[in-house]
């Protein structure tokens, strides 16, 4: 049973556009919400993370928006670049990390 539901499964965006990936959870014991980026043939790499007492966190072109009451959080990739083409996973932690199913992002030049 997946504890974190992620959507969409895939998306295509033009260079310079905005990519938005959404995640939802039920377990209110989650205390840390990271996003991981994975390129083909590589392991996931931590991209950005947020705690539930913060509503937004921005690092460069990547922003997490967090809605505690709705139990939802999202990743926004601004000014998307071809090098951003990868699979993105949201995750949530209690004692261990639970990952979403992933979103494959394709940025067209």
Contact positions vs another protein (CB under 8 A): 2, 4, 6, 32, 34, 41-46, 49, 89, 91, 93-102
Look up residue 51 and give its DSSP letter. Answer: -
Q: How far apart are CA 56 and CA 25, in angstroms?
A: 17
Taking the least distance from each CB to another protein, the nearer of 2 and 14 is 2
- Tell me how far, at minimum, the Cβ of 98 lies from another protein, in Å: 8
Q: How far apart are CA 13 and CA 55, in angstroms?
A: 25
Phi first, then psi, for residue 34 (nearest 5°) are -95, 160
- Tell me how far, at minimum, the Cβ of 5 lies from another protein, in Å: 11
Taking the least distance from each CB to another protein, the nearer of 1 and 69 is 1
Taking the least distance from each CB to another protein, the nearer of 17 and 57 is 57
- Tell me how far, at minimum, the Cβ of 61 lies from another protein, in Å: 21
Taking the least distance from each CB to another protein, the nearer of 18 and 45 is 45
Chain centroid offset of residue 31 CA = 16
Contact in structure between 38 and 86 (CB atoms under 8 Å): yes
């Amino acid at each position: 049973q997946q504890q974190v539901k992620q959507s969409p499964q895939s998306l295509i965006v033009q260079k310079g556009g905005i990519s938005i990936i959404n995640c939802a959870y039920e377990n209110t014991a989650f205390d840390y919400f990271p996003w991981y980026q994975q390129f083909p043939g590589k392991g996931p790499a931590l991209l950005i993370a947020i705690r539930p007492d913060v509503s937004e966190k921005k690092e460069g072109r990547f922003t997490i928006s967090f809605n505690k009451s709705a139990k939802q959080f999202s990743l926004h990739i601004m000014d998307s670049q071809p090098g951003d083409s990868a699979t993105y996973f949201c995750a949530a932690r209690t004692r261990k990390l639970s990952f979403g199913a992933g979103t494959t992002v394709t940025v067209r030049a």
